[in-house]
Amino acid sequence: MSRQRREEMQDKRDMLRVLISLLVSAGFLFILPVAGPGKAHAAGRQLRLTEAVRLALQNNYEIKAFENSLAAGKEDIGIARSPLLPKIAFEERFMRTDNPTYAFMAKLNQGRFASSDFAVTSLNNPKAINDFQTSLSFEQLLFSRSASLGLKMAKKEYSAQGEDYAGKKEEVAVKVIRTYFSVMTAKEYRDSAEKALADSKEHLRIAELRYKSGLGLYSDTLRASTTVTGSEQKLVSAGKNLNVARKALGLLLGTDEAVDVAGEQMEIPLMNIDYYNKASLSRKDIRSMEARNENAKNSIRFAESAYLPSIGIGGAYQMNDHSAPGSEGESWQVAAFLRWNLFDGTKREHERAKAKFRAAESEEGLKGLKQAISFKVYEAYLGVGEAKKNAELAAAALRTAEEGRRLVKVRYENSLSPIIDLLDAQVSLDHARAGLVARENEYRTAIADLSYESGTILKDLKIEE
């Protein structure tokens, strides 16, 4: 090959290298606007795990909505109590009639009845008469089995709703913990991506030095440049994922702002299996279903109460006037009553049978729930052991990958290995770093899930006793 030809090829290589350098620089500048917001958020509000959970319990919209639902449920107690309280009514009524019976009665009530009103003509064909009737009446139940049971069932249902509310708090807490750990993972992924980018740039620098010194191939610099671009793309994605995770954490905490994590060590202790099994027997959903199961049994008694009478007293004070609301005549009455529904077309029989089936359904559902929870606790406990072992293996894999990359790098620098071996070793190292981050997050999440399944998550975080 002639010298002129070699110089032309060298000029082309130099131009291509300049173009690649410009593309790399452009890619690096492109990443700044994306990675910038993540670092800006990192410098903002940072929370420890327990702080984040406490804020969520105060400000989370799901919990606030449930608080209103619980308050509405409490009003059902007052509604159920109302039949047992006195009923007082005021009524103002106007009537004009020439009906003989009503005309006779109206004059008597007004205190205007005279001896002339006994005339047969007046009795049979009275003149039209006005009657303004003002009355104040009351009624008080003294015995009503159905009303008493209704109040008892309303209180028990409110108790069940209180357990549901406590369960909702635990549900939100575990969501916060998972999202908190996802932010930590996203930060670690970003850090790993930054390390991978720094490593790939170092590989490019070595390849360029070897090429300039005549010891390496130009194709090595191209491959290294491609690796740098790929690392930059991964860093862009890692920065985006971190910002999304921070925003998601803020959403759970009831704020529109992105929230960062303080990055402290694990705050949820790992206990033995007996601790979780014993605690799971008092899970909020079990206690809620136990209360509703008791209510299902009460519903049988409620259906049977329809066979019993209700007893009460009542009375009224009444004023009558023929010209305007007033007191030409006044009267009062006091009464006691017994109401007994003797036959209602077998409605009570069917309601009682239905209540028995519902109670049996609730009983079986409660047994199934307890067994399902026992299984979930067992599964979650084994999941913690699995996640811990995987994290340990991932850490060992990372150490191996780091040492392998170091050895291949030394061999490449001494012209004993091609650059493809170095790039492959770097890919293995990147995967090992990402794998360790994922396994550590799975271990943290597994412990949180175990605490949630056993119903001890707020206790383990020392948020509740």
Residue-wise pLDDT for 90-101, tens only, equals 999 999 999 998
When pLDDT is averaged across residues 55-70 and rounded to a whole number, the result is: 94
How many percent of the chain have pLDDT more than 90? 55
Q: What is the pLDDT of residue 385?
A: 94
What architecture does CATH give domain 16-81+147-305+345-460?
Answer: Up-down Bundle (1.20)
Give the strand pairing for 87-97 and 329-339: unpaired
CATH topology of domain 84-146+309-339: Outer membrane efflux proteins (OEP) (2.20.200)
pLDDT of amino acid 23: 44
This prediction has a pTM of 0.79
Residues of the chain with pLDDT > 70, as a percent, come to 89
Residue 435 pLDDT greater than 50, yes or no:
yes
Taking 50 as the threshold, does the pLDDT of residue 7 lie above it? Answer: no
Among 34-48, 149-163, 243-257, 361-375, which is the least confidently predicted range?
Answer: 34-48
Mean pLDDT of 76-88: 95
Distance CA 427, CA 238 (A): 16
Residue 415 has pLDDT above 50, yes or no: yes
| pLDDT(429) > 90 | no
pLDDT of residue 245: 92
pLDDT of 264: 66
| Residue ranges of domains in the chain | 16-81+147-305+345-460, 84-146+309-339
Hey, which of 46-50, 161-165, 177-181 has the most confident mean pLDDT? 161-165
pLDDT tier for residue 122 given thresholds of 50, 70 and 90: confident
* Predicted pLDDT at 32: 34
CA atoms within 13 A on the CB side of 422: 26
Q: Considering only 134-138, 146-150, 215-219, 397-401, which range has the smallest mean pLDDT?
A: 215-219
pLDDT at 412 over 50: yes
Decide if pLDDT at 462 tops 80: yes
Report the pLDDT averaged over residues 261-289. 87
Does the pLDDT at position 409 exceed 90?
A: no
pLDDT tier for residue 214 given thresholds of 50, 70 and 90: confident
Res. 465 pLDDT band, cuts 50 70 90: low
What is the per-residue pLDDT for 37? 39
